[in-house]
Amino acid sequence: MKLLNICLVIALSTLLLACDDSKSASQVERTLNVEIKNEWDKVIAKQQWKNHSASVSQSEIRIENKNNNPDVLESIEGDFELLTMVKHQEEAWYFTIQDERTLITVNEKGLISKQILPAPVEGMCADMQQGKGDLLVLMENGNGLHFHLDVDESKELKIHNLRTITLPPLSEYCVMDLTHDRVLVSEEGIGVWALPLDMEKQMQRTLVDTVQQGHLQHTATAMVLLKDRLWIVDEQALNQYQIFSDHFEFEKRFAFANTYEADQLLVSKSNDVLEFVLLDDNTKQWLAFSLNAPAFSMQDVNTMVKVKPVVETQPVPLQGDVADDPAIWVNPKDGAKSLVLGTNKKAGLHIYDLQGKEVQRFENGRLNNVDVIQGFTFQGQVMDIAAASHRDHSSIALFSMDPETGRAQIQNELSTGLTDVYGFCMGRDPEGQPLALINAKDGRYEVYAIKDSEQGWSGELVRQFKLPSQPEGCVYDRQQHLIFMGEEDKGIWTLDYKDPSATPQLVVEVNGDWLVDDVEGLDIYYGHEESVLVVSSQGNDSYVLLNAKAPFEFIHRFKIGFNLDAGIDGASETDGLAVTSANLGSGFEQGMLVVQDGRNFLPEDLQNFKYVSWQDVVATIPRH
């Protein structure tokens, strides 16, 4: 399916560019006047920023002041090639390659680190925003090494090896577009691709421009990016594009009088003029030219804040899309001894402690969604109850849980009138009667009152209703006795359980912006001042907070990113989630959010669940 998606993207992009090919020749603005920069003779790579410049020759890398009488701040001897840089506040760090395959990091104070790479290097690029950035090293073996960069409180640069990615064939040049969380990479003879930097996103390439069918007339070589503009050299011209979040709009083509194989391209802005410097790999000469600056337009980019997970569970021990929905059991005496239940939709139920360690496992069939009610009885004895939708039997699987320890046992199942059951949640009606709400893929819901007797638990069907198409996640609001239901492709519905004649009402629609289908997990955080509906917006790997009271106003959205200090990746393709406002001990004083992670990295592994401290979520909410 991934291959099909890539093929469709290529075919569609090529078709769109081919339809526009007639514009290429007519949009040549003028021939550029190029001057040789003799003062950069013997320099094979260069970077400049404020008062510093760095240059690489075959015998050294040198960092010096940029003034009339430059002072050498640092010089390291060696056989170097390539040079890229990142900057933060008044600091700059430079990356170069020594002896073809050793990554060197240096600043004005000297050598910072050395790392031997798996293969010789073809190219690299880096950038940083607000103290966090990325470095991509393109290797001859067709792989790219992706490093995460961040500057700590002591202004030291930390370099984390994130992952190895498969590059387009014969990739040699790249440029970072951190505003849109992506990197642009050239492919010899084909064109330029955009690849996501977010490791939680599916690694799907999108075409920026292509040779012949598009606006590029030759293989793309060096590229440079400034604000919302991109420039690509293709031997005979400089091509200019405006950058948008979902596409790159070709603007102009500036011709060269000669053919150049650009090995590096730099740009700086002075007033309304852009100053370019290009290294021609054929002649080893640096060439300078200028252009009038375009009218830059920095669009509002909906970049989402990321919250770090603090714990991850052991992986669910089966291949494929297996982990699905969590629930939280709160220990009434010691919150730190609370438990997380997680369904395995191929095998059963897993129970984890707050350190993510599995403490119990039940292999009783394909369980999809799970929920917990505390403070019930079993055969007249105080007992908590957990229940899950059982896809093998189209039933509700019941588990008793010791109210003091959370130790679980399988009990009976409640038959339903549904086929192909799916989502599930629990609640208490206005009289305190426990309810089990289960749905099927055809949109039907059944509500069962769970009753206790000497024989154990039984269920009585007390209500039925239907959504137009496939639902899954639901949550019963214990304060309003309002049922929130997700319809995967449509949005969020409510039903007033207090009103026997009430029907489902669509209250929040999928909008392609902050709520992107599928709508998956739902739960409620019961706060002191207001209650918050937490929603898994699976289509863009994010989580949405809404006011749980009408008109259900949008509060905030965020993603769950990696926690490199703890060795935990972020979360993506989330199905189910659970949240509690209970104090669960150190780190979870304001509660905890648990989400299913559909793609588990650092290292790549089977699916699992991630724990997020609620106070970390609150810290990202803008204060007005």
Asked if residue 340 and residue 223 are part of one domain, the reply reads no
Q: Which of 491, 552, 548, 494 is CA-nearest to residue 518?
A: 491
Number of neighbouring beta carbons within 10 Å of residue 14 = 17
Residue 104 is assigned to a structural domain of this protein: no
C-beta of residue 96 within 8 angstroms of C-beta of residue 106? yes
Among 269, 294, 319, the domain-final residue is 294
d(CA 446, CA 467): 11
C-beta of residue 367 within 8 angstroms of C-beta of residue 413? no
3-state secondary structure of 337: helix
Confidence of residue 304 (pLDDT cuts 50, 70, 90): confident
Scored b (16 or more CB within 10 A) or e, 435-469 reads bbbbbbbebbbbbbbbebeeeebebeeebebebee
Burial of 318 (0-12, 13-18, 19+ CB in 10 A): middle
Residue 327 is assigned to a structural domain of this protein: yes
Residue 610 is assigned to a structural domain of this protein: yes
Task: At 36, list the tokens.
Answer: 């040789």
Query: Domain range holding 268?
Result: 19-42+168-294
575-623: pLDDT as tens digits: 999 999 999 999 999 999 999 999 999 888 999 999 999 999 999 998 8
Asked if residue 329 and residue 184 are part of one domain, the reply reads no
Asked if residue 598 and residue 483 are part of one domain, the reply reads yes
The alpha carbon of 572 is separated from its chain's Cα centroid by a whole number of angstroms, namely 6
Asked if residue 316 and residue 286 are part of one domain, the reply reads no
What pLDDT sits at residue 69? 66
Asked if residue 361 and residue 265 are part of one domain, the reply reads no
Asked if residue 375 and residue 226 are part of one domain, the reply reads no
Among 245, 266, 294, the domain-final residue is 294
d(CA 250, CA 24): 9
C-beta of residue 242 within 8 angstroms of C-beta of residue 248? yes
Residue 13 is assigned to a structural domain of this protein: no
Pairing, β 262-270 against β 273-280:
antiparallel
Asked if residue 270 and residue 327 are part of one domain, the reply reads no
- How would DSSP label each residue in 68-129? SSPPEEEEEES-EEEEEEEEETTEEEEEEEETTTEEEEEETTEEEEEEE-SS-EEEEEEEEE
410-451: pLDDT as tens digits: 999 999 999 999 999 999 999 999 999 999 999 999 999 999
Task: At 266, list the tokens.
Answer: 């730099």
d(CA 572, CA 71): 49
What pLDDT sits at residue 3? 38
C-beta of residue 62 within 8 angstroms of C-beta of residue 75? yes
Residue type, 498: K
Number of neighbouring beta carbons within 10 Å of residue 515 = 22
Q: What is the CATH number of the domain that holds 475?
A: 2.120.10.30
- How would DSSP label each residue in 286-304? EEEEEEEPP--------PP
d(CA 251, CA 242): 7
The verdict on whether omega for the bond into residue 551 sits within 30 degrees of 0, i.e. cis, is yes
Number of neighbouring beta carbons within 10 Å of residue 99 = 12
Task: At 564, list the tokens.
Answer: 């490199």
Confidence of residue 50 (pLDDT cuts 50, 70, 90): confident
90-103: pLDDT as tens digits: 899 999 999 999 99
Confidence of residue 22 (pLDDT cuts 50, 70, 90): very low
Residue 8 is assigned to a structural domain of this protein: no
d(CA 194, CA 168): 10
C-beta of residue 358 within 8 angstroms of C-beta of residue 609? no
Pairing, β 306-307 against β 554-560:
parallel
Task: At 117, list the tokens.
Answer: 């790479």
Is residue 21 pLDDT above 50, yes or no?
no
Which are the contacts of 465, defined by CB distance < 8 A and separation ≥ 6? 444, 445, 495, 503, 504
- How would DSSP label each residue in 251-277? EEEEE-SS---EEEEEEEEETTEEEEE
Candidate from 10-19, 434-443, 555-564, 602-611 with smallest mean pLDDT: 10-19
Asked if residue 284 and residue 388 are part of one domain, the reply reads no
Residue 506 is assigned to a structural domain of this protein: yes
Residue 411 is assigned to a structural domain of this protein: yes
Residue 182 is assigned to a structural domain of this protein: yes
Asked if residue 226 and residue 179 are part of one domain, the reply reads yes
**What length does the chain have?**
624
Among 294, 326, 358, the domain-final residue is 294
Asked if residue 321 and residue 260 are part of one domain, the reply reads no
Rg, C-alpha atoms of the chain: 29
Sheet holding 444-453, edge to edge: 421-428, 434-440, 444-453, 456-466
Task: At 618, list the tokens.
Answer: 């609150």
> Based on the structure, what is the number of domains in the chain?
2
Task: At 594, list the tokens.
Answer: 């648990």
Asked if residue 325 and residue 287 are part of one domain, the reply reads no
Asked if residue 456 and residue 603 are part of one domain, the reply reads yes
pTM above 0.75, yes or no: yes
Confidence of residue 472 (pLDDT cuts 50, 70, 90): confident
